[in-house]
Amino acid sequence: MGAIFQSLGRTVAAGVVLLVVFLVIAGLGTGQWVRINDHSWWAFFFRWLHVLSGVMWIGLLWYFNFVQTPSMPKIPDEQKPAVSKVIAPTALFWFRWAAMATIVTGIIVATMMGYIGKALTLQGGYHAIGLGMWLGAIMWFNVWFVIWPNQKKALGIVQVEPAEKAAAAKRAGMASRINTMLSIPMLFCMVAQQNGGF
C-alpha cells in the first residue's frame, strides 16, 4: 500500500483503478454498464476530463494568488530561489498545460453537444456556456501569451535586464489577478448551463 503513495504516478493510476472498481460495482448492482458505443457517454467522458483539467488549472491559479504571491514577501531573500527556481517553474508547467487541456476538452464537449457555434455567438439558450467559454478563452490567452512569457523573464528562465525583469513580473502578476477575477463568473457560467442557464 505504502509503495502506491510513494509515487505520484502510481497514486494517480490507483485513482483510475478505484474509478473502474466503482463502475464495475455499479454495473453489477444496476445492470447498467459504461456505454462506449454511445455518443452521449463520450460527451460525458470528455466533460469529466474537462473538469479534471479545469480543477488542475484553476487550482494552480488560486495557489499562485492565495498562497505563493502573498507568501513571497515573508520569505527571507536567501530562501526565495527555492520558490522561484524550483516550485514556481513546476507549478507553471502544470498550470499552462492544464489550461491547454481544459480549453481543448471544453471545445470537444461543446462540439459533441452540437452547440459550439450557437454558444460562441451567444444565441438564445446558450448565453451561460457561451459567456463562460469566452471568459475561459480570454483566461487561456492570458496564460499562454501574457503570464507564461512574462514569468519566463521574471523567473530568469529567459535572461533580461533587471528593469525588464521587474516589469515582466508586474505584467504576469496583473494578468494572473485578472484571471482570478474572471474565474469567478467563468465557473458560474460553466455550471449554469447544466442547470437551466441564466
Q: What residues make contact with ligand HEM under the rule CB under 6 A?
A: 47, 50-51, 54-55, 57-58, 102-103, 106-107, 109-110, 113, 129, 133, 136-137, 140, 187, 190-191, 193-194
How far are the Cα atoms of 81, 83, 105, 135, 150 from residue 167, in angstroms, in the given order? 19, 19, 34, 25, 9
Q: Smallest distance from the beta carbon of 6 to ligand HEM, in angstroms?
A: 29
Minimum CB distance to ligand HEM smaller for 46 or for 150: 46
Q: Smallest distance from the beta carbon of 81 to ligand HEM, in angstroms?
A: 30
Q: Smallest distance from the beta carbon of 104 to ligand HEM, in angstroms?
A: 9
Q: Where are the beta strands (DSSP E) in 98-151?
A: none
Q: Is 32 helix (H, G, I), strand (E, B) or coil?
A: coil
Minimum CB distance to ligand HEM smaller for 47 or for 177: 47
Grid coordinates representing 140 are: 487561456
Residue 73 DSSP one-character state: G
Q: Smallest distance from the beta carbon of 14 to ligand HEM, in angstroms?
A: 23
b/e per residue, 10-48, with b = 16+ CB within 10 A?
eeeeeeeeeeeeeeeeeeeeeeeeeeeeeeeeebebbbe
